[in-house]
Structure 1
Amino acid sequence: MQFIKKEMICIPNRGFFCFLYRKLHYKVTIHTSERVNATTFNNVYIKLVGTDGKSKRQWLKGFRGPLSFIGGYESTFDVSCPVSIGKLYLIELDKQQLLLAPGDAWFPAKVEVKSPEGDDYIFPIYRWITGSEVQRFREGTALRVFDDSHHLGEYARKQELIQREKDYRWDVYQEGIPHNMKADSPLSLPAEVRFSFTKTTEFAFTAASGLADLQLSGLAESKEKWTDMDSIGGVLTTKRTDISDYVQENWKDDAFFGYQYLNGVNPMLIRRCSALPENFPVTDDMVFLRGGACLAEEIQKGNIFLSDYKLLDGLQGNIINGKKQYLMAPLVLLHKTPDDKMMPIAIQLKQTPAKDNPIFLPTDSEYDWLIAKIFVRSAEFSEHQLNVHLLRTHLLAEVFAVALLRNIPMVHPLYKLLKPHTRYTLQINNLARLLLISETGVFTKFAASGGEDMIEILKRSLSSITYSSLCIPENIAERGLEAVPNFYYRDDGLKLWDILHRFVHGVLSHYYKSDGEVQKDSELQKWISDIFEQGFLSQACTGVPQSFTTVAEMVKFVTMVIFTGSVQHAAVNSGQYDYGGWMPNMPLSLQLPPPTTKGTTSEATMLQTFPDVNTTAQGMSTVWLLSKQSSDFVPLGQYPEDHFSEKIPCELIKDFQGELEILSSVIEVRNKSLEVPYTYLDPTALENSVAI
């Protein structure tokens, strides 16, 4: 054997040399990650544990000496045993601080071992080792709980989950909303889920310099009102995008107003109107429909659509700069015209019809109609940020991640599949609670829906959520939007769902051959149970499964989890500065009530209604930060960490990447012909996880 050496031992009382025993040699290769600060100069020790025994704990001394564990390098060592230890099950790693030298964190990527028998073993690690405690890592072959019958595997699995339950604890930020990871600050999070050095540095710089980057530093303290539109336009000069320019030029246009319901940052509200709501008494003599048809006929044909902001009804409105703010709960009626445009035809700004709650129409005066649309767009800001963005992507993604880390060990196929889709989620949400929605957070202080209203909206949002609304094929069908033209969120999103579903089905059906195997996987069942209880607060009315009974049910749910944290988050996050950088298109607050009669609004009234200068500056800075991609961004389908080692999952990953590449090319070609390109769901532009 290549790695078996004869050792000659001298026995003095016999006066001769003899071959007394053979030592078996294991070739151990340590790969240290390339990430910043992954290097350690501490002494590293390893122990190999197999079915028939274990090696002694051995100090890994290489020819590079203290440089053996530099980031991006691999070092090979010889570990010897007097007898074979059988099939390798796990390794134990620890590092010890050198005398008079500082301790340092180490980020090994993986360990490869070649046994004397010629077998190759890979141990994925991909985590920080910070202290001197012994860390155990399993061989990379994915094993479900009932596959792990050897006592070594059972013990290691149990100990890992005991520690994870201590490291990842549930907490209640506010009653009535999804529970979250207990952590006082980013530094109190386990090292393995924190930002990288690169991400930390860039995020801190962007957050600190946002106002300066946008040349808003001098405006951040001004509590004055805007005096003219040119002044507002003057602040959108240094950080511009093609779409923000387009928005600034076209924000008053009815066709663009309607377009944003399909391809703006909130494509989740509009639905086909099968009957007018009783509280929205629009009549034929009010509206003018292109083509000469009446309202009832167009409803019958499926050409009338409704956006209802009832979630915001009855809220009080925040106090900003000592002044009451106003948040409406509008109803918006839209018509798909013969030339395939989505045109607003009626707006009612409050839910209850009344004489002082007029229905605004495109035939009204310019500023009556414009102020109605401005109140709608301000309501859109709160609906989008709190329900569609924060609750339905960030908070749910955190629930999925914490449940995974508490209940699923590293060796489980579900962990290997989902871990890349949890990257940075726990820290970005921790920062959101500290910087955006805390008592002193930007959203709390400067949005019309900040403060008590914010928590009430989140509670209402969770109470109204359904499992089907998180699954885009069902969501589109339920809203009656299958045939709406120029709906690029739907087109790209459905294709991505199908690609994801095929990938997830391929991976999970490789490990689960029958429904019975799904049912008896106690770790898998505990994961979904935890999500149902901690994320959806045990509300059966949501339709979220409380357990898995079939392979198909599991595949659909896991597809939704990945889709929510990658595709859906990109759709509702990436365009925030594009569509919100020009404040009049999406005001985070308005400080005059809406008109109660027509004919009373002017440009001066509109300017007085807009948020103050400092509120505008804070809003622009925040959406700039939330739209800025990190340089260590990882696009959907790219897996820098090799958690899977088996042939079939690795092949499925390559197929998945190939399908995404093809879709990216299709989207790129399509966008060349569009006046407003829809890029947010291009696979090259959307991240694997909720990371910003």
Structure 2
Amino acid sequence: MFSGVTGILNKGRKIRGTVVLMRKNVLDYNTIISIGGGNVRGVIDSGINLIGSTVDGLTAFLGRSVSLQLISATKSDSNGKGKVGKDTFLEGIIASLPTLGAGESAFNIHFEWDDDMGIPAAFYIKNYMQVEFYLKTLTLEDVPNHGTIHFVCNSWVYNSKLYKTPRIFFANKTYLPSETPSPLVKYREEELHNLRGDGTGERKEHERIYDYDVYNDLGNPDHGENFVRPVIGGSSTLPYPRRGRTGRYPTLKDPKSEKPATEVYVPRDENFGHLKSSDFLTYGIKSLSQCVLPAFESAFDLNFTPNEFDSFQDVRDLFEGGIKLPLDVISTISPLPVIKELFRTDGEQVLKFPEPHIIQVSKSAWMTDEEFAREMLAGVNPCMIRGLKEFPPKSNLDPTIYGDQTSKITADVMELDGCTIEEALASGRLFILDYHDTFMPYLRRINETSAKAYATRTILFLKENGTLKPVAIELSLPHPDGDNSGVVSQVILPANEGVESTIWLLAKAYVVVNDSCYHQLMSHWLNTHAVIEPFIIATHRQLSVLHPIHKLLTPHFRDTMNINALARQSLINADGIIEKTFLPSKYGVEMSSAVYKNWVFPDQALPNDLIKRNMAVKDSSSPYGLRLLIEDYPYAVDGLEIWETIKTWVQDYVSLYYATDDDIKIDSELQHWWKEVVEEGHGDLKDKPWWPKLQTLEELVEVCTIIIWTASALHAAVNFGQYPYGGFILNRPTLSRRLLPEQGTSQYEEMVKSPQKAYLRTITPKLQTLIDLSVIEILSRHASDEVYLGERENPHWTSDSKALQAFQKFANKLAEIEAKLAKKNNDPSLSHRFGPVQLPYTLLHPTSEEGLTFRGIPNSISI
């Protein structure tokens, strides 16, 4: 506690410090793109040296260009603010420091600190250079009457003239608002005021202002009618979570829409301040949309390669032999480092993708009914299957608008292994994957495009051996006489041979197309990326960096606003990648808004979700207080282990700072934070009665656990299996282009004679497949500097030893869980964990190596 103290304060004593910073990373996307087909590595290497190529050069460059001033936590000036020390400049660079990471440099600094200044707990920093740098840490050694003080900064610092007030950083001490030392109170309040801004003007690159806006930046009406998209959010008709405000000018044709920009603003510290070695996965989406995809489209426009697969082997050739593309296309994409990492290209004009996990052992097991059902429990979208409680399934669509939407599946057509429908329902053995209500309101419009799809319901039965089997699929279309006339439905039953087996395979494909689109736009984008962004904004606006809940939550927000901005720019925007390759096309985000109407924050807790979906029942005698109706449900089994561990960590941490419920109620920052989350960030749902009031310790623990679960484990479960499962497009098509052929038509005859060709002409074609694979491979990869659950970027994230001990307990428990889950995957009785494709369920294993690993829980939504 008093390490390094040598005695009483000495007049004029100097405090020695070490400053670690990272020079501006010139290896950004724009540098790479501008290189084209040149010597990329040579330009990158020279770019690193733009700011100081040697130790002496770097020291000389910085010279007297960066100054710091310490601020006291114990001694006040005449205004009641902590005393500010003298300007002190960086000194010589430290040649070697074992803790330095890639691209980081350390500098000595010595502060004059008289005995009447007390103990420092903050500092100002001024940058007099024109170029910004990334400030990592300041460490003070041998501070009199204290010892070592750590400042964990992790922030971009621009020229001081760009700031209205000097940049301030606080030590890693934790204070509730009411416990803040009086000399720091005004500094704490001023910093929050600076981060909130005034809600006006266009945001500039250097700013750190956090504010809210609606999704009015997805379209570009100035480019024509095809680029017009409705404003999402800000109304009961199209509600949505808020995004970060940029303040860009409106478009000419629609004052409610914001003009797209080449570079989207996010608060500067939400930009990536860490190196990702040479992979640059976070910029992969931009390089794909601006370079690779136009190259693909050009190749197909020139008819260099047919846009159809003719056999299943043609699809497998994407991984086994590659696809030939024109030399100019290959030369356009191959110099980009991110692309080199993802694809294999060679001098034979061949583009080759890595083999997806789903076909690494068996090439055809994906076609089985067992695998089709298993992926609802252990696939990339395992949170949609529900226990069926009534038969036939009913719709929640308004019958005055949509007529009778009740399912046409009858009990007599389903093979239930000798059970009656009443017995199967009573014993909890019937389940449903139901996309009927999500797609039906949009299906008429979708089918007016080149896409042709159904709204689907799939009924499944739990067999005696504990595995699921599909027993019926319902394919529904809007009634030709109008929406209020109900639907036209056909029921498809399992078949193993003849044309009926092809029809059954196609029916499963229509189900998976529904599932793929719901997964990408709702389970993945909406329920993790979009819903978390308001919590990020509110946290920075209302919770000081000194606040314990800020320290608890912010590691789980790393990179999310940036990746969301990239998504709005290249993925979910008008004519973006998702619209090009997924069924709903221009209606995708609008459909996710309809789903958000029914989003309930407390139900994002895994136990609540499982109970709501009738996949579990409350049972005080069972672990976690509930009993799974399908015992072998890998997502739920593994997820409950992770959920409970997160909740225990949150409980341990929160209890260090709040002793009673009254402590929660009087925490002004915490109450303002929650009020803003509800009324601003998720303002379109602010009147819902289910919002926690945040008046008790129990509520605070649950709220924080849900946030951390959503940003870490839930996102991992629905993200990092995308390429392992969906990289083989036959298994997870994203488009359907024609309906089931009718007898007497040429398409029906083709289906009889060539089932593979009929299947391939129905699902995603070759160009869209290449785009799909390119994107989901990036999304499924871990970057080289990923930070996983149970880890922190900096070991000195807090000075509270009890918090550090609780965190170590959390990390140790996660390690135990990982070993436990590995054993489960070797249990032959747990068929859903392995399946006919022989792919163990590892998506909720906490750790991972770099790359395409099909495992690992990052702290945050970082890709």
Query: After TM superposition, is the score higher than 0.5?
Result: yes
Paired with 2:611 and 2:706, the residues of 1 have a C-alpha distance of 16
Moved more, 131-140 or 539-548: 539-548
Equivalents in 2 of 1:280, 1:591: separation in Å? Answer: 24
Instruction: Find the residue that maps to 1:333 and give its secondary structure.
Output: strand
1:655 is displaced (CA, Å) by: 0.7
The reply on whether 1:127 has 2:155 as its aligned counterpart is: yes
Structure-2 change in CA distance of 1:160 and 1:546 (3 Å):
farther
Equivalent of residue 146 in structure 1, options 159, 165, 178:
178
The answer as to whether partners of 1:397 and 1:561 remain within 8 angstroms in 2 is: yes
Q: CA deviation at 1:206?
A: 7.0
CA positional deviation for 1:669: 2.2
Match of 1:182 in 2: 245
Residue 554 of structure 2 is aligned to residue 419 of structure 1: yes
* Distance in 1 separating the partners of 2:268 and 2:471: 53
Give the whole-Å Cα distance in 2 for the aligned partners of 1:662 and 1:557. 25
Residues 565/103 of structure 1: CA separation in 2 closer, same or farther (3 Å cut): same
Are positions 1:406 and 2:541 aligned together?
yes
Post-superposition Cα deviations, 1:280-329, rounded to whole Å, max 9, x if no partner, equal 24333211122x22222111111110111021112147779x95202322
> Which residue in 1 is equivalent to 2:370?
255
> Counterpart in 1 of 2:677?
531
Task: Report the 3-state secondary structure (helix = DSSP H, G, I; strand = E; otherwise coil) of the residue aligned with 1:198.
Answer: coil
2:504 aligns with: 369
Deviates more, 1:434-443 or 1:602-611: 602-611
Counterpart mapping for 1:90-169 below 5 A: 90-97=122-129, 103-132=131-160, 134-148=166-180, 150=182, 152-166=183-197, 167-169=209-211
Letter in 2 for 1:30: V
From 384, 389, 397, the equivalent of 2:524 is: 389
Match of 1:625 in 2: 778
- Counterpart of 1:45 (choices 50, 67, 72) is 67
Q: Does 1:201 align with 2:201?
A: no
Paired residues of 2:604 and 2:706 also in contact (CA < 8 A): yes
Distance in structure 1 (CA, Å) of the matches to 2:504 and 2:520: 25
Contact 1:318-1:448 within 8 A present in 2 as well: no
Residue of structure 2 in register with 1:60 after alignment: 89
Partner of 2:19: 30
> Residue type of the partner of 2:813?
E
**Alignment-derived partner of residue 227 in structure 2:** none
Which of 398, 410, 429 is the aligned partner of 1:283?
410
Mean CA deviation greater in 306-315 or 553-562? 306-315
1:623-645 Cα offsets, whole Å, 9 max, x none, are 11211221111111110123211
Counterpart position of 1:649: 803
1:198-227 deviation per Cα after TM superposition (whole angstroms, max 9, x unaligned): 3483433576469979x9788765673333
Secondary structure of the residue aligned to 1:427 is helix
Q: Which residue of 1 aligns with 2:861?
A: 690
Tell me, yes or no, if the aligned pair for 1:4 and 1:23 is still in contact at 8 Å. no
Q: Say whether 1:472 aligns with 2:606.
A: yes
Letter in 1 for 2:465: D
1:228 pairs with one of 294, 311, 318: 311
Q: SS state of the match for residue 504, structure 2?
A: helix
Aligned residue for 1:330, secondary structure, equals strand
**1:255-286 Cα distance to aligned partner (Å, 9 max, x none):** 11110110111111111111112412433321
Determine the structure 2 residue equivalent to 1:11.
none
Residues 15-26 of structure 1: matches in 2 within 5 Å? Answer: 22-26=11-15
- Residue of structure 1 aligned with 2:767, choices 608, 614, 625: 614
User: How far, CA to CA, are the matches of 1:220 and 1:446 in structure 2?
Assistant: 15
How far did 1:36 drift?
Answer: 6.2
1:180-579 equivalence runs, <5 A: 180-183=243-246, 184=261, 188-196=265-273, 198-199=275-276, 201-205=280-284, 208=287, 221=301, 224-237=307-320, 238-245=353-360, 248-276=363-391, 277-278=393-394, 279-290=406-417, 292-309=418-435, 310-316=437-443, 324-350=450-476, 356-363=488-495, 365-451=500-586, 453-481=587-615, 482-539=628-685, 544-545=690-691, 547-579=693-725
Summarize the Cα distance change of 1:598–1:259 in structure 2 as closer, same or farther, 3 Å threshold: farther
Moved more, 50-59 or 550-559: 50-59
1:108-161 Cα deviation digits (max 9, x unpaired): 3233253333444332212122222522122322111122251x3221111111
| Aligned mates of 2:693, 2:362 — CA distance in 1 | 46
| In structure 2, C-alpha distance between the alignment counterparts of 1:462 and 1:127, rounded to whole Å | 33
Q: Distance in 2 between matches of 1:2 and 1:149?
A: 25
Query: What is the CA distance between 1:31 and its match in structure 2?
Result: 3.8
Q: Residues 317 and 325 of structure 1 are in contact (CA less than 8 Å); yes or no, is this contact kept in structure 2? A: no
Looking at structure 1, the residues matched to 744 and 859 of structure 2 have their Cα atoms a distance apart, in angstroms, of 49
Q: Aligned residues: percent identity?
A: 23
Q: Is the 8 A contact 2:23 2:134 kept in 1?
A: no
CA gap of 1:503–1:118, structure 2 versus 1, over 3 A, is closer
AA partner of residue 790 (structure 2): G
Contact 1:62 1:76 in 2 (8 A): yes
Output the aligned Cα RMSD.
Answer: 3.2
Q: Secondary structure of the equivalent of 2:179?
A: coil
Change (3 A) 1:172 1:356: closer
- Find the aligned partners of 2:791 and 2:518 in 1 and give their Cα distance: 32
Distance across 2 between alignment mates of 1:246 and 1:543: 50
Amino acid at match of 1:188: Y
Matched-pair contact (CA < 8 Å) for 1:32–1:107:
yes
Q: Deviations over 1:2-42 (max 9, x none)?
A: 48798xxxxxxxxxxxxxxx423333333446996898743
Deviation at 1:494, TM superposition (A): 0.5
SS at structure 1 position matched to 2:116: coil
SS at match of 1:683: coil
How much does 1:350 deviate?
A: 1.6
Task: Please tell me the residue identity of whatever aligns with 1:625.
Answer: I
| Conserved 8 A contact 1:45-1:93 | yes
For residues 446 and 430 of structure 2, the distance between their equivalents in structure 1, rounded to whole angstroms, comes to 37
SS of 1:585 mapped into structure 2: coil
Gaps of 5+ in 2: 27-47, 52-57, 77-82, 198-208, 216-231, 234-238, 247-260, 321-352, 395-405, 480-485, 616-627, 828-833, 848-855
Q: Following the alignment from structure 2 to structure 1, what is the Cα–Cα distance between the partners of residues 742 and 608?
A: 39
Q: CA deviation at 1:244?
A: 4.1
Q: Which moved more, 1:374-383 or 1:397-406?
A: 397-406
Deviation at 1:588, TM superposition (A): 1.3
Which moved further from structure 2: 385-394 or 579-588?
579-588
1:359 and 1:286 mapped to 2: Cα distance? 9
Alpha-carbon distance between aligned partners in 2 of 1:205 and 1:191, rounded to the nearest angstrom: 20
Shift of the 197–501 alpha-carbon distance from structure 1 to 2, 3 Å rule, reads closer
Change (3 A) 1:249 1:207: farther
Displacement of 1:163 in angstroms is 1.3
**TM-score where L is the length of structure 2:** 0.72
Structure 1, unaligned runs of 5 or more: 7-21
- CA shift at 1:396, angstroms? 1.1
Amino acid at match of 1:273: L
1:76-128 CA distance string (max 9 Å, x none):
4432244421233422222323xxxx634132323325333344433221212
Return closer, same or farther for 1:163/1:393 CA change in 2, 3 Å cut-off.
Answer: same
Contact 2:9/2:144 (<8 A) preserved: no
Note the C-alpha offset of 1:440: 2.6
- The one-letter code sitting in structure 2 at the alignment partner of 1:194 is N
8 Å Cα contact 2:270-2:561 kept in structure 1: yes
Contact 2:266 2:565 in 1 (8 A): no
Q: Secondary structure at the match of 2:133?
A: coil
Paired residue type of 1:121: I
Shift of 1:358: 1.4
**Aligned partner of residue 507 in structure 2, secondary structure:** helix
Matched-pair contact (CA < 8 Å) for 2:381–2:519: yes
